[in-house]
Amino acid sequence: MQVLKNQIDSHNESLLLQHEAKLSFTRSEVPGAEEIIQKLTAFQIAIPSWALGTGGTRFGRFSGGGEPRSLEEKIEDVGLLHALNQSSGAISLHIPWDIPQDYRATRILAAQHGLTFDAVNSNTFQDQPGQPHSYKFGSLQHVDKTIRQQAIDHNIEVIKHGIELGSESLTVWLSDGSCFPGQLNFRRAYQNTLESLNEIYAALPDNWKLFLEYKAFEPNFYSTTVGDWGMSYSYVQKLGSKAYTLVDLGHHLPNANIEQIVALLLMEGKLGGFHFNDSKYGDDDLTAGAIKPYQLFLIFNELVEGMDARVMNHATDLGWMIDASHNVKDPLEDLLQSVEAIMLAYAQALSVPRRALEDAQQNNDVVTAQEILQNAFRTDLRALVAEARLRAGAALNPVALYRSLNVRQNLINERGLKTVATGL
């Protein structure tokens, strides 16, 4: 299934008048609208290969059909998303769920869809068939060096796959930790993990980054060896200049001030990138912006301010990735919604009058500071995001076009109703 240019054009034509009316109103309300549109056009968000099928929960899985059966079909799905929004120009792979059989062919297929390969992810949180040693009691932290070595070798293998595909970063997320008090010597677990990470880091090409993702709990419920941003920071700090912390929005304890974490990691030069999603309780992996859109905006507010302070390129200097799981929605529609929410939060953050906010802060004018942020958040910038899409050749309303083209039914016809994407 492919979305054709003329299908996008006729969809856009039908919405153009309405769009232009909204756009001109937004322009009249928002100073710097043109600059925002340009920044939005450059901004791309990577789609996780493991979110293209139904994730399910530990209680069950309800497939919607037409899920990608292979790496090639996953690339095609992300290609579809990118054709619809021109903002999802990268795919993030998870090894061993997505081992490429033919690097060259995989690279060519991705390029045909206008896609690049973002961070490659290692997996030492599951045992794979035929694997000699089990990760039941951890991987990089394990008390047994043989098991640590197996996990180190796996990560180095993942880097090799990534090099072949043109990826430039490795994301390490560890489920390592413990379920009961006394199970683990915390200090030794930390030291083993650091030693293992050092070996992985040594295999990293010069132009690569290592992202160390933290998570407060699950699947371990008493301690996690990379449990929060402080722990991740302490590892990446020791590893070296190519190592950074990765923030997954669903990996904090309830009510954590994620925007402050982001601001400080950025200030320290140790923020590597994001796994966007939303959560009500834990690692819920819900659509970005579905539950706490204001928090997403506040995070982008810190990002824009902090990146500008360090003269960073918004589009390329951090890793922008989604990490989601879908149980009740069509995964592709969900991902379109996530990308839209992220773009909107970014646009709103760009619209914040920085000087005025700084003045308010300097004058301890709390009321004005709040007015400024809430005004930016409550101003409807959807027309700017749509305009960026229009200029890039994408659809004014990606979800509406996806539905009117019956994409899911087409995928079911092509692939079948009972297909299961590899991954979670």
Residues near ligand RM4, by CB under 6 A:
50, 121, 173, 213, 215, 248, 275, 283, 323, 424
User: Smallest distance, Å, CB 423 to ligand RM4?
Assistant: 7
67 binds, among Mn ion, ligand RM4, none (CB under 5 to 8 A by kind): none
85 within 8 A of 399, measured Cβ to Cβ: no
User: Smallest distance, Å, CB 248 to ligand RM4?
Assistant: 5
CA distance 89 to 104: 19
Which span (104-112, 231-239, 243-251, 338-346) binds Mn ion, by CB under 5 A? Answer: 243-251
Report helix, strand or coil for 246: strand
Complex with ligand RM4: residue 229 or 377, whichever CB lies closer: 229
CA distance 310 to 422: 39
Question: Looking at 248, 278, 284, 330, which residue binds Mn ion (CB under 5 A)?
Answer: 248
Q: How does DSSP classify residue 278?
A: B
Residues 6+ apart with CB under 8 A from 236: 210, 212, 243, 244, 245, 270, 272
Complex with Mn ion: residue 105 or 179, whichever CB lies closer: 179
424 binds, among Mn ion, ligand RM4, none (CB under 5 to 8 A by kind): ligand RM4
State the number of binding residues for Mn ion (CB under 5 A): 4
Instruction: Of 32, 4, 33, 90, give the one whose Cα is nearest residue 385.
Output: 33
How many Cβ atoms sit within 10 Å of the Cβ of residue 98?
A: 23
Residue 65 has which token pair?
Answer: 């059909």
341 within 8 A of 191, measured Cβ to Cβ: no
Residue 355 has which token pair?
Answer: 């000087």
Complex with Mn ion: residue 244 or 377, whichever CB lies closer: 244
Element containing residue 47 per DSSP (H, E): strand 46-48
Binding to Mn ion (CB under 5 A) within 316-345 occurs at: 323
Question: Is 252 a residue that touches Mn ion (CB under 5 A)?
Answer: no
Residue 216 has which token pair?
Answer: 């407060």
User: Smallest distance, Å, CB 327 to ligand RM4?
Assistant: 14
The residue behind tokens 């912390």 is 245
CA distance 128 to 321: 25
- Give the CB-side neighbour count of residue 283, counting CA atoms within 13 A: 19
301 binds, among Mn ion, ligand RM4, none (CB under 5 to 8 A by kind): none
User: Smallest distance, Å, CB 285 to Mn ion?
Assistant: 6
Summarize the chain as % helix, strand, coil (round to 5).
50, 10, 40
User: Smallest distance, Å, CB 288 to Mn ion?
Assistant: 12
Residue 73 φ/ψ, nearest 5 degrees? -70, -30
- Give the CB-side neighbour count of residue 182, counting CA atoms within 13 A: 0
User: Smallest distance, Å, CB 125 to ligand RM4?
Assistant: 7
Complex with ligand RM4: residue 121 or 193, whichever CB lies closer: 121
Residue 255 has which token pair?
Answer: 């009510």
Complex with Mn ion: residue 67 or 323, whichever CB lies closer: 323
User: Smallest distance, Å, CB 251 to ligand RM4?
Assistant: 6
Binding to Mn ion (CB under 5 A) within 189-218 occurs at: none
Binding to Mn ion (CB under 5 A) within 121-180 occurs at: none
Complex with Mn ion: residue 248 or 278, whichever CB lies closer: 248
Complex with ligand RM4: residue 55 or 353, whichever CB lies closer: 55
CA distance 42 to 45: 10
Question: Looking at 275, 314, 408, 415, which residue binds Mn ion (CB under 5 A)?
Answer: 275
Complex with ligand RM4: residue 77 or 387, whichever CB lies closer: 77
Binding site for Mn ion (CB under 5 A): 248, 275, 283, 323
